Amino acid sequence: MYVYSVVLKREKTVVEQKKVSIVGASGYSGAELLKILLRHKHVKLEKLFANSSAGKRVTDLYPWFAGRVDTTYESYTADAVSTSDLVFIALPSGEAMNIVPELVERKKNVIDLGGDFRLQDPSLYQKYYKHEHKATSMLPKAVFGLPEWNSEAIKSASLIANPGCYPTSAILPLAPLLKEKIIQPSGISISSLSGVSGAGRSSSVDLSFAEVNESVKAYKVGVHQHIPEITTVLESLSGQTVSLTFVPHLLPITRGIYTSIYAPLAKSVQASDVLAVFQQYYGNKPFVRVSDTAIPEIRNVNYTNFIDIGFRVYPENHQLIIFSAIDNLIKGAAGQAVQNMNLLLGFDESEGLLL
């Protein structure tokens, strides 16, 4: 009997990589972006910009990157991203508008994690963000980056406005119910609670953990900048005029958003009817998890790109109560931004986002 040794030649798979840079890489969202992109097989990190931390090493600010990132933050210039295919902007609102027009003119794909391009009406921006919009010509070019609803527009966009964290937690539960007229478009109340990281790394003293700990408080009641974002997007998706109340609160935790929504029913429904609507819209969406029995918890979504949605029907009160939980830094910021990048550049939507 002869024994044959067979050697199989395997062709190496060449994975095309896109060059990506981050402006505002030293903030919380920028650091989360860096974590995700390091494990993304289609991405090559090119430049990390952080004007206030220019000259410092990434590991000086975030020691957990030791052995993974040997990079120094730089001051931003448009010329420095001349070879980048895509630029993430993770700056406070009011700053992206100063650099986006030149990037778009240079044919760069841009994903803005701030609020500068989420509202199509500049007067609403000025009213809620308290300063004038300086790049109004860019507003018609911006696509609202909600992957579960705008995936086709995202794929052909040059400028993507990443949704806010609070709006993500409210719009995803409400949009299917409004579109299918399960709930009324007026009289909706939204109560959201956020960890203090949502205020950013350079937040004021009153938003620091020491001031928030051992307490819970509402803030920016009636004037929060996410109110028009939630309202206008829901109106666009549902084709109805929407009237709602939104109240944000600070929780003494680092990360996570928990949202409770109280909506008047438009017709008599059972829990199975509501679940069927969610399954219709989100059954094939990789990061939306819906349950008609479990109540969401922040601990089950933290450090992930998932949104968990639960609900309870109260026919006797003609009311539907919906709950959602997300990680404000992932699904509410960096993770959703990478989800948008995946769609835009033709990668698998979940690449880099599932551990």
Catalytic residues: 165
DSSP 259-300: EEEEEEBSS---HHHHHHHHHHHHTT-TTEEEESSPPP-GGG
Give the residue among 73, 52, 167 at the shortest CA–CA distance from 114.
167
**What is the three-state SS of 303-351?**
CCCCEEEEEEEEHHHCEEEEEEEECCCHHHHHHHHHHHHHHHHCCCCCC
Give the residue among 346, 340, 322 at the shortest CA–CA distance from 265.
322
Helix 122-129 to helix 226-238 angle (10° resolution) is 150
DSSP 9-63: --PPPPPP-EEEEEETTTSHHHHHHHHHHHT-TTEEEEEEE-GGGTTSBHHHH-G
Instruction: State which amino acid sits at residue 272.
Output: S
Two tokens, residue 240: 């109805």
Q: Contact 232/225 with Cβ under 8 angstroms?
A: no
Tell me the H-state helices in 106-182.
Answer: 122-129, 147-155, 165-179
Instruction: State which amino acid sits at residue 176.
Output: P
Q: What pairs with residue 326 in β-bridges?
A: 257
